[in-house]
Every structure is written in C-alpha cells, then in structure tokens.
Structure 1
Amino acid sequence: MKIAKRMENLSPSVTMAITALARELKAQGKDILSFSAGEPDFNTPDVIKQSAIKAIEDGYTKYTAVEGITETKQAIINKLNRDHGLEYSLEHIVVSNGAKHSLFNLFQLLIEEGDEVIIPAPYWVTYPEQVKYSDGVPVFIETDDTTSFKVTAQQVKAAITDKTKVLLLNSPSNPTGAVYTKEELLAIGEVLKGTDILVFSDEMYEKIMYNGEEFTAAASVSDDMFERTVTINGLSKSVAMTGWRFGYIATPKTELVRSMIKLQGQVTSNVNSITQHAAITALEGHADADIEMMRKAFEERKEIAVKSFNDIEGISCIEPQGAFYLFVNIKEITDNSMKFCEQLLEDKGVAVVPGLAFGTEGYFRFSFATDLASIEEGIRRIKDFVENN
C-alpha cells in the first residue's frame, strides 16, 4: 500500500503530541492539569439543547439542502445584519461541518499549485496545513507581543506578490487573543484595493471580548472589503457547541458559493439536521444571556491568570482583547518551547501548547477555558517549575 503523495504536505500535529503525552502520563496515574484545550468548559445552553430535542421529536431527521436549510441560513443573515450591519442573501451563505470544514472547502476551491496565502504568525495550527494540502504556499508575517501580535498594512503590502491569492485574518486570534480595530482593518483594506486578493476573516471568537472592547467584522469596514471578504464563523466557541459541528461562510461572491455547494455535496452533504435547527435558536439570540455569563467568567479568569503569570520572574504575557488564551512569553528562559512544554508536563503534570505549534518560538499557549481553581494551581506549578529549573 502506498499513501498518496499529497499527505506528505501535512505536518504532524504538535498539539496532538502534547495531548498524547498527557494522556499517557494520566494513564500512569499522574495528576495532570490540562490547559491545551480550545473549547469552553461550559455545557451548551439549555435553550439550545431543548431546541435540538424538539427538532428530533418533530421529525427533522432527514437530509437537508447541502448548503443548509433556509431557516438556518436566514438566521445567519439576520445575525450578520443585526451585529454588523452586513447585508447578505440566501445565495451568499453556506453551512458546513464546523469552521475548519468551511476553510478546507475554500482552500480546495481556490488554491492551485504555487498560489500564496498570507498568514500572520502566530496562527491557528490548521491554517498553513490546509494551504499546503491544497498545493498552496503559506507566506507568514511575523508578529510578537511588542506589536500586540497584529500585522500592519505595511507588512501586508510587503508580503504581496503576483502569486498572492488570499490574506487570512483571525480576530480575535487563536492563540494570542489579538483583535483588529476598525482603523487597522481599513488600512489593510486600502492596501488590497485594486487587487484580486480575497480576505478570509475567521471571526469564531467574536462574542468573547474583554475590557469593553468592541469587535469589528472585516467585511463591515468598507464596500471594497465587503466585496473581497469571505466571513468564516460558527457557534463552537461563543455558545459552547464544539461537538455540534456548525460553521458557515458568508460572501457576496455567488460563483464561490455555488462551487462550494458542489464540492460539499460530493464530500459530506449537509450538516447534521438537528444541529441546524438548534443553531437557529443560538443565532436568533436566545442564548445571549448564557454567552454573557460565559464571557464574564472568562474575563475573571483572564485577569487572574495574566497577573499571576506576570508575577513569575522570567515570564510575561500581554492581556488578550478576546478569545480565551494567553500567549505566554518564555524567551528569557528558553527558545525551545517544545522542550519546555514536554518537561513541564513530565515534571509538574501541566499541559500547555508550545509556541512552535503556532509558528512562533519562545512562547506557549495557555487556555483559561477551565475552572479558576485549576488555573491557579496550574500557574502555581508553572511558577515552581520555572524557579527550580
């Protein structure tokens, strides 16, 4: 048996390596605290679960249209208009099995051999892997905590070549929590004017914002940005629906939408019919009180975690504006984040993800999407590890 050559483009997951080691140590009876998960520790709100139960009881258990049922797509349209003043039609929306699936579809549709995709680093681990699998070339723009982990319009301009097909933005960011302002997005949009470059805007964490900051959708900042932006979103993070697998895209480019429906129709067909009906409840705002409850809990944890890390000599972290991660700077200690994280796990039973996994050495990602007692104990162990090594 010979595995297809295209699989050689995919790199092994560093995140999975840490997770596997944590699982192995836990099986040996060791006390493991994990801060590597990218999902809320809260349960899906009851109002959404009840909608799913009702959908089952009402018999919504058949195939649906590949791109999603009309009611779900309309709920997405209404949500984007209500939250960001964006105007889409039914032919502008495709519902997929999570935002990761949405991204995969997009890259498969648009990227050909040698096409370049500009990706700010640190980045979500999946971005460059999907680009490479599609025979594209990821082009990274480096950032760090001195620039709040955000790229400038000038950096974007410098990265553009005649092969650039897509600029991928993620705000709020996984793994840094960085959020782009309206002014920053406008400046990036000015650089893109007159080009055919698309913007993929991953806005999965838009509801998880801190310190009174307001989220700005990339497509909302100008008419030109609206036309070139494919908004990618879902319900996994904001409404604690990770296992339900619900993602979607919105774009005025109907040719792109039709092609995506054609591809998805031959791969997965529709998203789970029950999930689609439950999603309507979330998109219509019936779980907004639950979203705010979770956001406040994350904010409290964030403030305690940031202060605790910055009290450790040799470690620092800037305050994230959104999402539920800290990207912790360990450059004073080591430039080998993988070795640091493996040793921390083996010595202290604390699992965090090395910055290497996100394309940036000298950091680790710490998820505070877990209970406060575990966060405090985990940071205490990290402090002890640093002070004794």
Structure 2
Amino acid sequence: MKMGGVFGGKLYKPKPADVTAMGKKLEWLHNKHEWAIDGLTDIKALNFGDIGEKFDTVLNHDIQMLFYTFQVPAVLMGAAKIPEGLARVQLDAFERRIQSIQAEVEKVIEQHIFRRVLQANGLDVHVEFEWGRPSSMETYERLAKVSEILKSPMTSGALKQLLEDQVVQLLNLPEDEYEALKQTEEEERRREEERPQPIVPGQQASPPKFVAPAEKEKVGESFENYNDINEWLGFKYNDYVKQILSFVRGDTFDLVRAQTVIEAAAGKLTATQITELKKVLGEGFKKNLSLTEMAANMDKRVKPKDLYRMKGGFIVKSAGIPVLARSAEFRSIAIVRSEVTRVANEGAIAHFKEGGVTKVRWVA
C-alpha cells in the first residue's frame, strides 16, 4: 500500500499515526471487506510472478525423454506440431518397430507355448499366430487397389476370382453365403447356356439353287495380247511422269514455303529447302520410290524443323512458349504425302489436256 504523494504541485505526506492505523486495519481481512480510498492512497496485491513457468523447461525435457525411452512418436500423444508428411513417416517407423517386436514375440508364442501344449496333447500341427486385424485405413487402401485391378480389362478371370475372394474377406462378409450365391449364379449361367435358342424367322431358309449362266457369245481374245497400259487404255505413263516433273520444276509450293521471316521462324520451308524438296520429289517420281523412301530422303536433305501455330501473321504462344503444330519427326511424311498427291493430280490434268480431254471430274 502506498500513502501520500504529490498533488497539484504540493507534497502530501501521511502522519505516522495514520499509517499505523491503516496497518492495523489490514491485519485481519476476509472476503467481505470493502475499501473506499482517496487518490493519495494506492493499494496493490503482492505479485510473486508465474511460479510454474520455472518448471516448464524441466517438464518438457522429462516428457521428451519419456518419448525417447518408449520410442513413441510425440505426434501420437498430441505433443508435437509437425507437418503431415513427417507425421506419416514417424507413424510408419513406429508401426515397423511394433511389427519387429511382434515378430519376435510370435516365435516364442508359436514354438515355446502353443506348440508345446499341443504336442503334450498328442497334436503335432503347425501353429500360426496372427496379430490383430488391419486398420480401417489399411482396409480402405487395400480395397482401392483391388478395385483398380478388377476394373482393368487386362485382368484374367482367374485373378479376378482371387481378388473377389479377398474383397469378401476384407469386408468381413459371410464366406459361406458368398460361396452359395456364387454356386447359384454358376448353375443359372450353365442352365442359360444349355437352354435351346428360339428359331429366328428365316434362319432355316435354304439359299436359292445355283443356276449356271447360259452361253450366248464366246470371245476368243486373250488379255495376253495387250502388252502395255498404252495399248490397254491409251495412257502413256512416261508422258504422265514428264508432266508431273514439269509441274514440280515450275511450281512455287506456296503451301509450305515461308513468305516472311516470321513464317521461316515458325518452321515453314525456306527457298533453299524448297529447291531440295523439288529434287526429292523429282527423284521419287523418276525412280518410282515409295512415300516412306521419299520422306527419308527429305529428312536427310531438306531437314524440316518443328512447325509452330500461326495466327494473324504471328506465332501463337501460350505462357510465353510457342504452340507446337507438328513436330519435325512427322513433318517429312506429312509434306511428302500431301505434295505427292497434289503434284500427281496436277500432272494428270496436264496430261489429260494434252491428250484432248476437255473436262475432268474427280470422284472420291
């Protein structure tokens, strides 16, 4: 208790008699006492501080030592605030330790307790001791894996049968009832297979008898008399190839040619590559090469790059990266396939016009 003080620039000092009288009043107190004091008197309770705080470090150390001694993760006791991944690792390590202890105890129980009792009673059998049952989480994870395997079309019937039996065990379903239902289903399927199928209208109808065509006119001319396609159809293949080669030499190949620097950067063919493409196509038609062989020659000589998507004269980008339209691996065969078809048709039209054909119609 503090009595007196400075108020309004004036020091007020209590008399000794007042202090003694106040002290007498504080000797005997109970919870019903009420005090009314002025501004020159200040009453405060004695503060001893947080006494238990001094023991927190010691108690936490003792708890940690208990966890280390019993090898129990603190997270299981709710005394640790750690990430979920680390908690799973600690739980897995704890379960492994428990399993190792169970394995050692299991040997003693099987060989030195149960086996001795059974042998003493004239039973020489194998003893298998099982610890507990899988947890709900373990059962759920196991069922999820089994379900994925059962849904796979590559799973054999025998494996599906084994997995179905395991599902029955995991779900604690009555095995006798399951076997009875499975037997009933098998018998029902067998009866369904043995049941005669209904006759479909027209199923037993016999095909009409074969009637040999009547001979009206006999032609003695043989196909061996036609030596080449020119004689057969009036079509000269060499002239057709010449028209194709002539078109290849004069065409600009605008569909695959780069007209600007941006198009060249996007993967379209440059003037030098167009020249090599013409050589590859011309050589292919002269030597009658396959599309695969021509594509291989194009990979070696033209060397097309990755083709990127363009819009409005610019390369399309996603997150700052150009969007790929076709990789270089497949560009050669695509270009060869489309350009061979195009130049072959153009050569055919030119050849037909040279032969006097005035109208051509393409039929797919």
Q: TM-score, normalised on structure 2?
A: 0.17
Q: Return the index of the structure with the highest Cα Rg.
A: 2
Q: TM-score, normalised on structure 1?
A: 0.16
More helix by share: 2
Greater relative contact order (Cα < 8 A, sep 6+):
1
More strand by share: 1
